[in-house]
Amino acid sequence: MRMLANAVLCGCLFVPAVYPQTKSALELDAKGWVNLLADGTMKDWIRGPLGGNPIVRAGEMGDPSPWKLDAASGVMTCAGDKVGHEWLRYAPELSDFIYHVEYRFPPVQGETRYNAGAFVRTSVDGKIWIQAQATLDGGYLFGNTLVKGSPQMVNLRQKMVENRVKPAGEWNVYEIRAAGRQITLWVNGAVVNDFLECEVPRGYIGLEAEGYRVEFRNVRLKRLP
């Protein structure tokens, strides 16, 4: 027993971490959620490149838009032409909420660098933002947000508890909970990131595409009191 204790203290005995599995907030309580893709006109969504460039209302994007909502299935697709980096911003500014997003990357042979995401606490021009990153390397929080009052890059990838993202072709479920200064990211059954010092009390949510074909469904919002 003493030898075992010494081994633990010396770090010689590896004990794998066990992380609690939980249901999503949507599964636990289906009341109070708003389906953000229920309106086929997309009148509450604004489309534009990141960084303050001109924007247009999503329902008026026209044929050139890479974003298409299939009203029958409720799936919104961004075509992914590998040239655009833009986002869809949901119109109301929000403070505290839970943001539920399901997404998948249609598989492309030989492709490994899929990239998309979901935004929270983001400024109207997209210059201040926090994103739940969506890549095959994992889901984690990062962004250009306020640190001691000034914009600064923050990246929690190294603090990601584990990579819970599923392979291309499979649906992933993200839930981002914003409550006061705390932003929490839940991915496919467990919390993987917790940002405790968010200095931006209000902002916009949205969806990001970064040149790769991506599909979103069951995009829902629940405001917190």
CATH number of the structural domain spanning residue 196:
2.60.120.560
The answer as to whether 2 is a domain residue is no
Arithmetic mean of pLDDT, 106-122: 94
**CA–CA separation, 169 and 109 (whole Å):** 11
Retrieve residue 143's tokens: 């962004």
**CA–CA separation, 172 and 133 (whole Å):** 12
DSSP 65-97: -SEEEETTTTEEEE---SS--EEEEESS-BSSE
Our count of domains for the chain comes to: 1
pLDDT at 25: 98
Q: Is 180 exposed, middle or buried (0-12, 13-18, 19+ CB in 10 A)?
A: exposed
Question: How would residue 54 be classed by pLDDT, with cut points 50, 70 and 90?
Answer: very low
Arithmetic mean of pLDDT, 9-18: 38
pLDDT at 83: 56
DSSP 173-211: EEEEEEETTEEEEEETTEEEEEE-------BEEEEEE-S
Asked if pLDDT for residue 198 goes beyond 70, the answer is yes
Retrieve residue 86's tokens: 């833009």
The answer as to whether 22 is a domain residue is no
pLDDT at 80: 78
The answer as to whether 116 is a domain residue is yes
The answer as to whether 26 is a domain residue is no
What is the CA angle 188-202-101, rounded to 5?
20
Q: Are the C-beta atoms of residues 49 and 88 closer than 8 Å to each other?
A: no
Task: Classify 61 as helix, strand or coil.
Answer: coil
Report field, pTM of the whole predicted structure over 0.85: yes
Q: Are the C-beta atoms of residues 215 and 207 closer than 8 Å to each other?
A: no
The answer as to whether 23 is a domain residue is no
**CA–CA separation, 121 and 183 (whole Å):** 9
Asked if pLDDT for residue 9 goes beyond 80, the answer is no
- Which is higher by pLDDT, 215 or 66? 215
The answer as to whether 93 is a domain residue is yes
The answer as to whether 27 is a domain residue is no
- Which is higher by pLDDT, 35 or 56? 35
The answer as to whether 130 is a domain residue is yes
**CA–CA separation, 195 and 181 (whole Å):** 8
What is the CA angle 181-193-107, rounded to 5?
130
Per-chain mean pLDDT for the chain: 86
Residue 206: which domain range? 33-223
**CA–CA separation, 26 and 201 (whole Å):** 23
